[in-house]
Chains A and B, each alone.
Chain A
Amino acid sequence: MYEHDVIVVGAGGAGLRAAIAAHEAGADTAIVSKLHPVRSHTGAAEGGINAALREGDDWELHAYDTMKGSDYLADAPAAETLAQDAPEETIQLEHWGMPFSREEDGRVSQRPFGGLSFPRTTYAGAETGHHLLHVMYEQVVKRGIQVYDEWYVMNLATDDAADPNDRECHGVVAYDVQSGNVEGFKANGGVILATGGPGQAFDHTTNAVSCTGDGHAMAYRAGAPLEDMEFIQFHPTSLPSTGVLISEGVRGEGGILYNAKGERFMFEYGYANNSGELASRDVVARAELTEVNEGRGVNDEYVHLDMRHLGEERILDRLENILHLAEDFEGVDGLVEPMPVKPGQHYAMGGIDVDENGQTCINGLYAAGESACVSVHGGNRLGGNALPELIVFGKRAGRHAAGDDLGTAEIKTGYGDDVEDETETELPVQPGSAGLDTPGGVAADGGVTAEADGLLERAVEAERARVDHLMEKDDGVQHAQIRAKLQKAMTDYVNVFRTDEGIRKALRVIRECREEYQDVYVDDPSRTFNTDLQQTYETRNLIDVAETIALGALVRNEFRGAHWRQENQERDDENWLKHTLISWEDGDPNIFYRPVILEGEKTYEPKVRSY
C-alpha cells in the first residue's frame, strides 16, 4: 500500500497544477495517472488561454463574456473566480518559462476568440496546450513530486454512509499497467480527480482515446452527482475523417467558412450577423450542420474553412501547426486550398459536481478540470476558457486538499435543501444497473460496503476479485464491440440536433450495452501491460457517463447553449435556470435540479444571446 497526503488522479493541466499547489502548500503529494504526464490530452489544446491582462480589458468583461457564452447556466462565483485568477495564473506560466507567442515589445501575444469582447486569448502558436502541459510537467520534475505513471485508477475507496454528504474518500485503488499489480493508495488529505473529458462516449470526437470519463464514473458511483452532463460541446472545425481539431485560432485570425456554393453562410443566411465565424461555438456548429442538412454542404458532409487570404507569413507565424494537421490527417495544404471541417464532439461542459474550491459533497474527494463542473461553462464553453479553468481551479483544489483555507464556498454541492426532484419525465428503460445480475460485482457498485477502518484494503480486494473474474472468464462479449455500439448511438442520437425520440433510442441502446457488459471478458491472459483489461474498465465508465449525458438531454426540454431540442427550440428561463444533477443511488440514477447562481460580485441578467 502507498500512502500520501494528497493523491491526484490524472496528469493533464488540472492534475499537474493541483499537484504543484498541494506540494507548495506543504502536502506530501503524488500523481497517479494512466498515462505518463506528457501524454495527457491537455497537450492537444491549440487555441489559448483567456486572461484579462491588458489595458482596456478587465475581469468583469471576461466574467460577463463567460456568463453570456454559458447561456446563463454558469454559476457567477465560478465565472468570476476564473476571470479574476486567470491573469495571475497565466503570468505564472510565463514565469515558469512557457514559450508564449510574443509581440514586438516582447510581451505575450493575445488574439480574438469566439464570444469574447476583447482579444484576450493568450497563446503559444496553435499549440498552447502542448506548451502548457510540458511547462507544468517540468515544474513537477523540478519539485520532485512523485508520479506513478501508467497506473490505472480503478475505483475510489469511499465508505457507504447512507447520505453521500456524510461519506468520506480515503484513497484510490489502482493497477500498475506494466506489472498488473493491484494496489491501494491511501490519501490522508484528499483525492483530486483530474481525469479529463468523456469524449470517447462519441465516435466522432477531437478527444484522445484515453478520454473515457474515468473520474466522472468513479465519483458518480461513489455518490457524488454529475452535473449538466447534457451540455456537450461540438467544435465547429474538426477534420471530417479523423476528428482532429482545427483550432478556433484559424477563425480568430480571420479564417472564413464557406458552404458548397461558395457562400459565406454565417452572414449570408443570418446565423450571426455581427460576429460571423467568430460567434460562439454552439452557434457555428449548428449553422454548419444546417447548411449540410439543407443541401449546401460539401459532399453532403462538411463545409470549407479558408485561411489562404491570411498569407503564408501570418499563417506560419501563428498557425503553423494547423498546416501540419491538415496535411497529415486530411491530405490538404491549407496554404493553397480550403480545409474541410465539420462539428466534432470536443468538450463536456458538465462534470463532477464541485464548488469553487474543487470539493465534491463527499469529504476528501475533489475534482478539477474537464472532469469537474464548478460550473464555469454552463450551457456552452467559450474557446480559450478551458485552459484557464485547469490552472485556476486545479490550483484551488490542490491548495484546499492540502489544508489551505480558501474561505467558505458559495456554490453548493450534492443533494440538499436547495434542490428540486425531477418528477415529470418518463424514462423509456430502467437506467442504471438495477435489476442486473452482477457477476464478480462487475456491473453495480456504489461506495465500498465497509467501515472506514480497513476500507482501503477491502477496496483493493474487491478490485482484485473483479480483475480475476474478467480474466478467468473464457468467453462472452469483448469491450470493443460494446464501446463501438455505444459511441455510434451517442453520435447518431445525442449529437448537435437532439429529439425526444432519438434520445430515447440512445437510452435503449445504452441499456443494451449495460446488459451485454454483464457478459464481458478479457481475452488477453497476460498480467503484463494488459490494455484489454484497462479498456474493459474504461468501457464500463463510458456506459455510466453516456447514460447521464442522455438522461440530462432527455429531461432538459429546452434549447440552451450547446443543448438543442427539436420539441422546444427556445431557451426557457422560467423553468430552466437550473442545473441538472444525476446521482447514482445504489445503481438507480436519481435526477434533481439546483438553481443557477446569477449573482456574484456582479449580477448577470439573462439576455437574448446573439452574436
Chain B
Amino acid sequence: MRGTESPQQERLKEKEQGLAQEEAVDESDLEGETVHLKVFRYDPEVEGKQEPRFDDFYVPFEKGMTVLDAVMYARDEFDSSLTFRHSCRQAVCGSDAFFVNGKQQLGCKTQISELKQPVRIEPLPHQEVVKDLVVDMDHFYDQMHAVEPYFQQEELPDGDLEEQRQSRENREKVKMSTRCIWCAACMSSCNIAAGDNEYLGPAAINKAYRFAMDEREDDEIKEHRLRIVEQEHGVWRCQTQFSCTDVCPKDIPLTEHIQELKREAVKKNLKFW
C-alpha cells in the first residue's frame, strides 16, 4: 500500500520485508524444480480423511506461481477431491484465505518463490473446517451482518439525478475501510476472537467504521453505529495486538480503525456526562 501508510503499517512493512528476505528463495533457483506442498486434508464422511492429516504434493514450479496455482495444479493433476474455495484469482473475491506457513494469506496473492519449503497449507484457524481447506464462514457473515452493514441516510437530495456531496477528504478517510473483501483472514488471526465467540471482530468493526466515518450519514445514525460497536463484545475487546492489520491482504489499517472508533465512542459518551 502506498500513500496513506500509518506509522504502524510502515513498521509492519519493514518487519515483513525483513522476514521475506530471510525466507525468500531466488526464483531462478526454482526453475525446473518441483515445489513440495503439505496440504491439510479432512472430510467428515470419507474413510481415511475423518482424522485430519497432511498430504504431500510435488508440483512443477513455474515463474510467477502462486499458492493458489499450486493447489489448483495438485487438484487438477493428482487428486480431484482436494477442496478449496477460489474464484477471481486476483485478490478481490476473498475466497481463498488459507493458513500458509503459519500465516493467514490469500492463496492467489502469495508467491510460492517467497515461501520456505515444504509449503504448509492449512484452513484458516479458529473456524470450523468443513472439508480440506474450506472453513465454515457462517459465523463470520453473522458478525458482518450484526453491525447493520448498509448505508442509512433517509434524507436525500431532491431530484433523482442529484447526488449527495462528499468531500474528497472524507472519501479518502473511508477509502481503505471500503476495500474489505470479507476474506476473514483478520478474524482468523485475532486472539480475542478466538477466545470470545461473540466478539464482532476486526472485519465487522471495520465495516462499522466505513459507515460511521462517512459524512453522508447524519449524526443520529452515527451515534447508533457507535452504540453497536461499543457493546460488551465490541471495540473494547481489542487489545491492539495488530495481528489483523498484519494479515490483511488489502492493507486495511484495521487496528487503527478500531482505536478510532474507541475514541469516537469516548467522545460521544463524554457529551452526555
* Interfacial residues, chain A to chain B (CB-CB below 8 A): 35-36, 38-41, 43-44, 53, 87-88, 91, 94-97, 99-108, 125, 127, 130-131, 134-135, 138-139, 141-142, 178, 208-210, 241-245, 316, 320, 323-325, 328-331, 478-480, 484, 522-532
Contacts and interface: CB of A to CB of B under 8 A. Distances in A.
Contacts of B164: 94-95
B214 A43 contact: no
Contacts of A44: 88, 90, 92-93
A41 B87 contact: yes
B137 to A, nearest CB: 7
Nearest to B157: A95
B145 interface: yes
Given A91-B162, A97-B150, A524-B81, A41 B130 contact: no
Interface stretch (B32-40, B41-49, B52-60, B191-199): B41-49
B153 A97 contact: yes
B86 interface: yes
A529 B80 CA distance: 12
Contacts of A96: 150-151
Contacts of A130: 92, 179, 181
A241 B151 contact: no
| Interchain residue pairs A-B with the least CB separation, the first 10 | A97-B151, A106-B165, A524-B81, A138-B150, A480-B76, A142-B150, A39-B93, A208-B87, A532-B80, A316-B3
Nearest to B77: A480
A104 B90 CA distance: 32
Interface in B68-87: 75-77, 79-81, 83-87
A100 B174 CA distance: 11
A87 B161 CA distance: 7
B171 A101 contact: yes
B126 interface: no
A275 B111 CA distance: 38
8 contacts: A102-B171, A106-B166, A208-B89, A324-B1, A328-B91, A525-B46, A526-B46, A529-B132
Given A44-B88, A97-B214, A141 B150 contact: yes
Given A88-B160, A142-B150, A531 B83 contact: yes
A43 B46 contact: no
A88 B94 CA distance: 30
Contact of A328 (B94, B109, B131, B167): B109
With a 10 A CB-CB cut-off, give which of A35, A88, A99, A329 has the most chain B CB atoms: A99
Contact of A107 (B76, B141, B165): B165
Contacts of A478: 80
B156 interface: yes
B227 interface: no
Nearest to A122: B163
Given A38-B182, A97-B217, A329-B64, 16 more contacts: A44-B93, A53-B161, A91-B161, A94-B164, A95-B163, A99-B174, A100-B171, A138-B150, A241-B63, A242-B64, A526-B45, A526-B131, A528-B45, A529-B83, A531-B84, A532-B80
B153 A529 contact: no
A316 B131 contact: no
B162 to A, nearest CB: 7
Contacts of A88: 160-161
- Secondary structure call for the B interface: loop
Nearest to B171: A102
Given A38-B181, A107-B165, A329 B90 contact: yes
Contact of A38 (B76, B94, B178): B94
A130 B151 CA distance: 16
B70 to A, nearest CB: 14
A43 B93 contact: yes
B81 A532 contact: yes
B16 to A, nearest CB: 14
A141 B168 CA distance: 28
Nearest to B76: A480
Contacts of B64: 241-242, 329-331
B89 A528 contact: no
B205 to A, nearest CB: 16
Contacts of B161: 53, 87-88, 91
Nearest to A87: B161
Contacts of B109: 328
A330 to B, nearest CB: 7
A106 B167 CA distance: 5
B99 interface: no
B87 A210 contact: yes
A241 B111 CA distance: 13
Contacts of A138: 149-151
Nearest to B141: A36
B160 A40 contact: no
Nearest to B167: A106
A209 B87 contact: yes
Contacts of B79: 523
Contacts of B81: 523-526, 530, 532
Contacts of A91: 160-163
Nearest to B75: A480
Contacts of B2: 316, 320, 323
Given A38-B94, A41-B93, A99 B171 contact: yes
B86 A209 contact: yes
A325 B46 contact: no
Contacts of B130: 178, 528-529
A328 B91 CA distance: 9
Contacts of A139: 150
Contacts of A524: 80-81, 83
B175 interface: yes
A520 to B, nearest CB: 11
Contacts of B209: none
A592 B56 CA distance: 53
A371 to B, nearest CB: 16
A95 B160 CA distance: 10
Contacts of B98: none
Contacts of B87: 35, 39, 41, 208-210
Contacts of B211: 97
A141 B151 CA distance: 11
Nearest to A93: B163
B237 interface: no
Contacts of A324: 1, 91
Given A480-B76, A524-B81, A525-B46, A244 B149 contact: no
Contacts of B63: 241
A531 B167 CA distance: 45
Contacts of B150: 96-97, 138-139, 141-142
Contacts of B131: 526, 528-529
